[in-house]
Amino acid sequence: MRYIFILLSIIILTNCNNIETLPLSQDYRDITSKLSVQDFENIKMLILDSGIYEPFFNKYYEQPIYLFDEFSATLEPEIGQLNAACDPQISDFNRLVIYDSDLSFKYIHFLIIRKGDFEKENIEIPDYIGLRENKVYLLRYYDDDLEEMFDKSTYYITKMQNRLNKNSY
């Protein structure tokens, strides 16, 4: 009996050591612990309720934009250019983009993946391995340094969360 227990222990330990962990992606970071799903939704509502609508990226007629003191935040529709007017009645928004002209990379892109989004037909979600529902991600923008973006994102997230606290969302 003792030998069976030892043999089973060795098998279990061996299998635990062989579990593959996904390498850190060079395309995104899970930042849900920094920017919760609820905070993302509240920031979205702040922008929709209190922001302005004007052209920001060429692919949309008008985008909802909120002007913070040092930067601006804009939303992109989850169905992309199928909602080129950025009309909240047509689709929800799953991207939050920070623009700061003082940054070397100018843009910080956040993506929310809500429960059920993978089953929806028209939602634009990058085809990255390891993305999960009910998470918020920082996406790399072109060839910019994802680690630097990750480090700098804390400042912008804090500023947005502070504004949420002032506006009681």
**Could you state, in chain order, the average pLDDT of each consecutive group of 10 residues for the chain (169 residues)?**
52 47 74 97 97 87 94 96 95 97 91 96 92 96 85 96 83
Question: If you ran DSSP here, which 8-state letter would residue 118 be given?
Answer: G
Q: What per-residue confidence (pLDDT) applies to 59?
A: 87
CA distance 158 to 160: 5
Are the beta carbons of 112 and 136 closer than 8 angstroms? yes
Q: What per-residue confidence (pLDDT) applies to 28?
A: 96
Total-model pTM: 0.82
End-to-end Cα, the chain, rounded Å? 61
CA distance 169 to 150: 25
Residues 6 or more apart whose CB falls under 8 angstroms from that of 146 comprise 26, 27, 28, 29, 138, 140
Q: What per-residue confidence (pLDDT) applies to 7?
A: 46
Strand 28-30 vs strand 52-54: parallel, antiparallel, or unpaired?
unpaired
Q: What per-residue confidence (pLDDT) applies to 79?
A: 97
